Amino acid sequence: MSLAISHLARRFDTTQVLRGIDLTVGKGELIALLGPSGSGKTTLLRIIAGLDWPDAGALSFNGTDWLVKSAAERRIGFVFQHYALFPHMTVRDNIAFGLTVLPRADRPGKAQIAATVDRLLAFLQIDGLADRYPAELSGGQRQRVALGRAMAIEPRVLLLDEPFGALDAQVRRDLRRWLRGVHDSAGTTTIFVTHDQEEAFELADRVVVMNGGVIEQTGHPDEIYDHPATPFVARFLGLTVEVPVTIRSGRAQAAGLDLTALPRRALPDGPATLFLRPADIQPVPDPAAPFRVTEIASTGALLRIVAENAAACRIEAEMPRRQGRDLRKDQPVALRVIAGQIFPGGAAPADAAPVEAPKALKESRP
């Protein structure tokens, strides 16, 4: 274990921004903090960095209390979305900066600093930029330099706050892969803040989903994607279709829906809500089915279909356009559900208790 956070709370005036955060981050792990704006991600990162302090709770690194240590003593590397590189310094000098300001006793000699910077420039594949000034760099190149600067001091923990947030989509994707490679080679413990799901899922060993100052779920990206633990996580991860169902002997039932592909759940008989991704619903033409296609629209690659029944239950499905060739407006369709998540209760309140995945399912996960 390397970083341990327990019961961390932080309030600004009347706003409780963190409400009891518990999290451990292992050595060499890459963790993504994912959540909507205002969920407390940056506040948590600033507390870990020593730029802010909690009102309650504990933070330790390898058993040492970090709340009594200054930011410098913690030896953290920090990269922000808009990282202000020193404009009057070359890339080489920017990367060297953290080493040149270390207390005299810890400061390496000039030759050693130069060697460290050369090594980092090569490692980060930016050696061609060494003598340029920040104004002569693209946004993506600046963030590579910013990471180099954060890594020069050999940080115990690297903190990245939406480092690619200001860059365009293609550059973001390239940098994401580059960062994963850098992380794997360097083995630095890294915590990465993003509100971009794709970024979190592609990069992280573990994703921590935050909402309103609490952690809703922590887990491997696939586990979170396939088994969101709360209605909030389900909606946040695109399970936007909510259908009332009835549970009988662990099976969900709803008129006009084929739910046989869903595993049996350890839920009491009664009303529940099924959360679905539009891509996990297949409309199948069926003259006897209670649903009818009311809207059909193509986005080029995809076909979006809305189906409604007499009770005004409206379900949106999405599929590759070629798969939906047989579908027409006003056509009766049965809806086959491939995957979904069920939460007890009819109204699916945002704070409903998480449903335990069946034991066998959990154990079969990697």
Ligand X SMILES: Nc1ncnc2c1ncn2[C@@H]1O[C@H](COP(=O)(O)OP(=O)(O)OP(=O)(O)O)[C@@H](O)[C@H]1O
Residues that bind ligand X (CB under 6 A): 12, 15, 17, 35, 37-43, 195
Helix, strand or coil, per DSSP, at residue 234: helix
Nearer to ligand X, 167 or 337 (CB): 167
What is the residue-wise DSSP string for 113-171?
Answer: HHHHHHHHHHHTT-GGGTT--GGGS-HHHHHHHHHHHHHTT--SEEEEESTTTTS-HHH
Cβ-Cβ contacts under 8 Å for 46 (sequence gap 6 or more): 52
Distance CA 244, CA 273 (A): 5
CB of 213 to ligand X, least distance (A): 7
> Is 207:218 a contact under the CB 8 Å cutoff?
yes
CB of 228 to ligand X, least distance (A): 19
CB of 232 to ligand X, least distance (A): 14
Q: Which of 277, 279, 265 is nearest to 235 (CA)?
A: 277
> Is 90:136 a contact under the CB 8 Å cutoff?
no
CB of 57 to ligand X, least distance (A): 15
CB of 127 to ligand X, least distance (A): 33
- State the number of CA atoms in the 13 A half-sphere of 78 facing the CB: 17
Nearer to ligand X, 16 or 246 (CB): 16
Nearer to ligand X, 40 or 228 (CB): 40
> Is 341:239 a contact under the CB 8 Å cutoff?
yes
Nearer to ligand X, 193 or 307 (CB): 193
Q: Characterize 183-208 residue by residue with b for buried, 16 or more Cβ atoms within 10 angstroms of its Cβ, and e for exposed.
A: beeeebbbbbbbbbbebbbebbbbbb
CB of 12 to ligand X, least distance (A): 3
Nearer to ligand X, 47 or 276 (CB): 47
Nearer to ligand X, 40 or 231 (CB): 40
Q: Which of 208, 205, 180 is nearest to 194 (CA)?
A: 208
Cβ-Cβ contacts under 8 Å for 98 (sequence gap 6 or more): 149, 150, 152, 153
CB of 36 to ligand X, least distance (A): 7
CB of 13 to ligand X, least distance (A): 6
CB of 87 to ligand X, least distance (A): 25
Helix, strand or coil, per DSSP, at residue 226: helix
Paired strand residues for 275: 242, 341
Distance of CA 40 to the CA centre of its chain: 13
Nearer to ligand X, 44 or 113 (CB): 44
Nearer to ligand X, 38 or 250 (CB): 38
Nearer to ligand X, 12 or 86 (CB): 12
Q: What is the largest CA-CA distance in the chain?
A: 82
Using alpha carbons, list the distances in angstroms from residue 310 to 36, 150, 189, 258, 276: 36, 60, 54, 17, 20
